[in-house]
Amino acid sequence: MKSFQDIIFDLQKYWAAQGCVIMQPYDTEVGAGTSHYATTLKALGDEYWDVAFVQPCRRPKDGRYADNPNRTQYYYQYQVILKPAPANPQDLYLNSLKAIGFDLDAHDIRFVEDDWENPSLGAAGLGWEVWCDGMEITQYTYFQQIGGIACSVVPVEITYGLERIATFMQNVESHFDINWNGREDDKKLTYGDVLKRFEYEFSCYNFDVASVDMLLEHFNDYEKECQKLLAHNLVMPAYEYALKANHCFNLLEARGVISVTERAGYISKIRTLTKNCCQAWVESLEEEA
Amino acid sequence: MRQELLLEFFSEEIPAKLQQKAVLDAKETFVKILHSYGAEFREVNSFISPRRITIQVSFLIQKTRSLREEKRGPKISAPSSAINGFLNANGKDTSDLIERDGYYYLDLATEGLKTRELIGDMIEDFILKMPWSKSMRWYLEKEKTLSAFWVRPIRSILCIYDTEPLEIYIKSVGLTTCSYTFGHRFLSPGKIQVSDFEDYKRKLEENHVMLDYEKKKNCIDKEITKKAASIGLHMLYDIPLLEEVAGLVEWPFVHIGSIDEKFMKLPLAVLSTSMKVHQKYFTLTYAGSVISPFFGTVTNVPGTDVMYSGFDRVLRARLSDAAFFYKEDLDVTLEAFAQRLSNVVFHEKLGSIAQKVDRMMSIANTREEHRTIALCKADLLTQMVGEFPELQGLMGEIYAKAQGEDSRVCTAIKEHYEPVNTNSNLPYTITGARVSFFDKLDTLVGLLGVGLKPTGSRDPLALRRIAFSIVRLLCDFRENVLTDGTLSWYIETLIDAYSEQGIALEHNTIEIVCEFLIDRLKTYIMDKFDIDSEIVDSVIKSFRSLDFDYRKAIVKAQDLKRLIESENFQIIKEAYKRAIGLIERRFANLTVDSICSIQFENPYMMHLQNSISNQETNPRDISIAVKAAEAVLTACDNVLINDENVDIRLNNLRLIKRFVELVNENIGNLEEL
Which is higher by pLDDT, B75 or B673?
B75
| pLDDT confidence of residue B651 | 85
Which own/partner pairs from B342-346 qualify as long-range (CB within 8 Å, at least 24 positions apart)?
B343/A259, B343/A260, B344/A260, B344/B380, B344/B381, B345/A260, B345/A261
Q: Are B57 and B4 in contact (CB under 8 A)?
A: yes
**In chain B, what are the domains?**
5-63+114-206 (no CATH), 70-107 (no CATH), 213-330 (no CATH), 334-541 (no CATH), 566-666 (1.10.730)
Q: Say yes or no to pLDDT of B460 above 80.
A: yes
Q: What angle (nearest 5°) sits at the alpha carbon of residue B156, between those of residues B154 and B158?
A: 125
CB atoms within 10 A of CB B642: 11
Length of chain B: 673
Q: Are B667 and B560 in contact (CB under 8 A)?
A: yes
Amino acid letter for position B614 = N
289 residues of chain A, pLDDT tens digit each: 899 999 999 999 999 999 999 999 999 999 999 999 999 999 999 999 999 999 999 999 989 899 888 889 999 999 999 999 999 999 999 999 999 999 898 999 999 999 888 887 888 999 999 999 999 999 999 999 998 899 999 999 999 999 999 998 998 989 999 999 999 999 999 999 999 999 999 999 999 999 999 999 999 999 999 999 999 999 999 999 999 999 999 999 998 888 766 787 899 899 999 999 999 999 999 988 8
**What is the helix (H) or strand (E) element at residue B53, kind and residue range?**
strand B52-58
* B353-362 vs B430-449: helix crossing angle, rounded to 10: 120
Which is higher by pLDDT, B595 or B430?
B430
Q: Residue A85 and residue B139: Cβ atoms within 8 Å? A: yes
Calpha distance B202→B23 (Å, rounded):
20
> What is the average per-residue pLDDT within B80-89?
87
Calculate how close chain B gets to A157, using CA atoms only, in Å. 13
> What is the average per-residue pLDDT within B124-148?
96
Length of chain A: 289
CB pairs under 8 A between A and B: 96
Do the domains A211-288 and A4-205 match in fold? no
Q: Between B136, B300, B313, which is nearest A142 by CB?
A: B136
CB half-sphere exposure, A187, CA atoms < 13 A: 2
**What is the helix (H) or strand (E) element at residue B285, kind and residue range?**
strand B282-286
B546 touches chain A (CB under 8 A): no
B378 exposed, middle or buried (CB, 10 Å; 0-12, 13-18, 19+)?
A: buried
* B268-311 residue pLDDT tens: 999 999 999 999 999 999 988 888 999 999 999 999 998 999 99
Q: Which CATH class is domain A211-288?
A: mainly alpha
Give chain A positions within 8 Å (CB) of B310: 107-108, 132-135, 168
ipTM > 0.85, yes or no: yes
CATH of A4-205, one of 3.30.930.10, 3.30.70.120, 3.40.50.2300, 3.30.379.10: 3.30.930.10
Backbone angles phi, psi at B57, to 5 degrees: -115, 125
Calpha distance B231→B293 (Å, rounded):
12
Kind of pairing between the strands at A74-83 and A49-58: antiparallel
| pLDDT confidence of residue B122 | 97
* A154-197 residue pLDDT tens: 999 999 999 999 998 998 989 999 999 999 999 999 999 999 99
Calculate how close chain B gets to A154, using CA atoms only, in Å. 5
pTM equals 0.81
* B559-605 residue pLDDT tens: 999 999 888 899 999 999 988 888 876 666 777 766 777 788 888 88
Q: Are B536 and B668 in contact (CB under 8 A)?
A: no
Q: Residue B186 and residue A109: Cβ atoms within 8 Å? A: yes
Kind of pairing between the strands at B253-258 and B234-235: unpaired
| pLDDT confidence of residue B411 | 97
B277 exposed, middle or buried (CB, 10 Å; 0-12, 13-18, 19+)?
A: middle
According to DSSP, residue B95 is labeled: G
Q: Which has the closest alpha carbon to A111: A140, A79, A81, A77?
A: A140
Return the percentage of chain B with pLDDT > 90, whole number.
Answer: 68
Calpha distance B564→B552 (Å, rounded):
18
Q: Say yes or no to pLDDT of B70 above 90.
A: no
Give chain A positions within 8 Å (CB) of B322: none
| pLDDT confidence of residue B100 | 86
How sure is the predictor about B672, in pLDDT bands with cuts at 50, 70 and 90?
Answer: confident
Q: Residue A153 and residue B146: Cβ atoms within 8 Å? A: yes
Q: Are B558 and B531 in contact (CB under 8 A)?
A: yes
Q: Are B251 and B208 in contact (CB under 8 A)?
A: yes
Residues 169-228 of A with CB under 8 A from B: 173
CA A177, A178, A180, A185 torsion-angle sign? positive
How sure is the predictor about B348, in pLDDT bands with cuts at 50, 70 and 90?
Answer: confident
- Spans of all domains in chain A: 4-205, 211-288
